[in-house]
Structure formats: C-alpha cells, structure tokens
A and B are shown apart, each in its own frame.
Chain A
Amino acid sequence: NAGVTQTPKFQVLKTGQSMTLQCAQDMNHEYMSWYRQDPGMGLRLIHYSVGAGITDQGEVPNGYNVSRSTTEDFPLRLLSAAPSQTSVYFCASSYSSPDYRTEAFFGQGTRLTVV
C-alpha cells in the first residue's frame, strides 16, 4: 500500500545545479501538487495538476518546472538551484469530486539543501 512515494529523501545541491524530484502515486488520483515547507510559513503551493497533460502554477512557481505525462507521476524540476530553494518539498495527491472537497494524501518529503 505505497500511497505517494517521493525520491530522494535527502539531497544536497550546489548553486546552479539542476535536479528532478520524483513523485509517484498508486491511488489513481487525478489531482497532484507540489508544496514547499519553510519554518513558520506552513506549506506553500508550487505547481499543481488536475490530470495528465494539465499543469498550472501555484503561489511560488518561480525556479521550478513540472510536467504530467501519466496519471501516476508528477516530477518537479529545479533548473538552476539557488540557496533560496533550500526547503522540504512535499508531493500530494487527491481524488476529484464534484465539489472539490476531498483531502490530500502526502508523501514523506524531500529535504533539499542548496549550498
């Protein structure tokens, strides 16, 4: 019963490097999202997707790209890492409902440090 799986769990990058954070869900959820968690600021939405082939920006999208080629996978790409992107990243998925009132299921998180 995997749920939402994120890899890697920890990562250290040098400024300017690129990398992809992986996220996969096995619940056949339509909706997937990426959040970053910073101290005292809760979680903030980076990008989200309402289905395969459809993505949109959240509150803090700059410096991040996403794509959704399958229902299961929603990778987050950092094109040129900056120290301000040091954070804990969470992927979430949820099923759709007519009134959008469903809860999200979260992965275990990826702790990223940019030096």
Chain B
Amino acid sequence: GNSVTQMEGPVTLSEEAFLTINCTYTATGYPSLFWYVQYPGEGLQLLLKATKADDKGSNKGFEATYRKETTSFHLEKGSVQVSDSAVYFCALGKAAGNKLTFGGGTRVLVKP
C-alpha cells in the first residue's frame, strides 16, 4: 500500500535559518505529492504540490522537487520567519476520490 514517511519534529530554528523537512514515499505508479501546512488552531492549507517526476512546486519561499529515483519530496526554505511556525504534512494523492495518504507531520518552531 501507499505510505509517507517524514522526519519527526519538533524542529526549532532561529529566524532567517535554512529549513529542510525530509519526506519519502512508497507508492505504485505515479502519485501526486503535496505539502500541507497547519497553523495553530486551524485546518490544513495546501502549501505546494507536484504532479509528475522532476516537477518543482513552490509557494511563499518554500520549494520541493518530486524525485522519483529517490522517492522523495523534501521541503526547503532558505530563510524562515517566525510566521512559518506551524505543522507541515507531506502527502501523496492517488486514485479515484483523490484519497490522500499523509506523513505524521513535522512541527516547526521559529524563534526570533
């Protein structure tokens, strides 16, 4: 079956530091890959997505590249802000109904 593994947190950073959150997946065929972000007390919001191999998704300074050869979709941001403090979820989508399989989530805390 499908599965997503992402690094456990919490990750604590200083403002303007570089952020990487690792995500690897197991799936048959060619899933779509997503990063969702959950700010405190809120629902999930789509951060970025990639739908085929070598696609790069980007948004709000975050980037992730769909690497089929390593089955990975690592999230990066060059200079984080306090407002980036949130829980980040890697997910894959496949098949009818757009069912999503999520990783366990990574909590990121950015300190001023």
Chain A residues within CB distance 8 Å of chain B: 4, 31, 33, 35, 40-45, 48-50, 56, 58, 90, 92, 94, 96, 99-109
List chain A residues, Cβ under 8 A from B97.
31, 33, 48-50, 56, 100
Report whether B99 and A45 are in contact in the complex, using a CB–CB cutoff of 8 Å: yes
Question: Quick check: is B4 within 8 A (CB to CB) of the other chain?
Answer: yes
Residues of chain B at the chain A interface (Cβ within 8 Å): 4, 8, 32, 34, 36, 42-46, 49, 51, 89, 91, 93-105
Bound CA–CA A104/B89 (angstroms): 13
Q: A12–B49 Cα gap in the complex (Å)?
A: 36
Closest 6 CB pairs of A and B: A42-B102, A106-B43, A106-B44, A101-B32, A101-B51, A43-B102
Interface centre among B45, B94, B97 (most CB of A within 10 A): B97
Q: How far is the CB of A112 from chain B (nearest CB, A)?
A: 15
Tell whether, in the assembled complex, residue B99 and residue A33 are in contact, meaning their CB atoms are under 8 Å apart.
yes
Determine the distance from Cα of A111 to Cα of B95 in the docked complex, in whole angstroms.
29
